[in-house]
Amino acid sequence: MTDPVTTARPPMPAQAEHLRRQRLERLLRRLPARGEQAMRWLLQPGRAWLRGILGCALVVGGILGFLPILGLWMLPLGIILLAEDVPLLRRFSARMLEWIERRHPNWMAPPPEQG
């Protein structure tokens, strides 16, 4: 019988986690003020139970994106929320954020100045 501790994936290297956090931060800054505020509130350490519920709901909504009102946009948002508490999803969210940065660099750019 194998020991689950030794067969589990190692945690993300610190540099990769730091890069994931930077990309997430840049993406959060692009959200409208209320959306950014809500996401920052949800990403605080004491909100794990709420992130889990909301993250699962968003993933299910993203999978059912073919229905009216629901959409594919819900899937990455749910994964980002769940990745804060599920190490297995951190690697996936890091790859997803890297893909967004490559395919849509303007999404990660600083928000345009309001003047």
Q: Reply yes or no on whether the pLDDT at 13 is more than 50.
A: yes
pLDDT, position 104: 85
Q: Reply yes or no on whether the pLDDT at 82 is more than 90.
A: yes
Q: Reply yes or no on whether the pLDDT at 1 is more than 60.
A: no
pLDDT, position 10: 56
Q: Give residue-wise pLDDT tens across range 33-74.
A: 998 899 999 989 899 999 999 999 999 988 888 878 778 888
Residue 11 — pLDDT band, cuts 50, 70, 90? low
Is residue 64 within 8 Å of residue 78, measured between CB atoms? no
Site of tokens 């990309």: 23
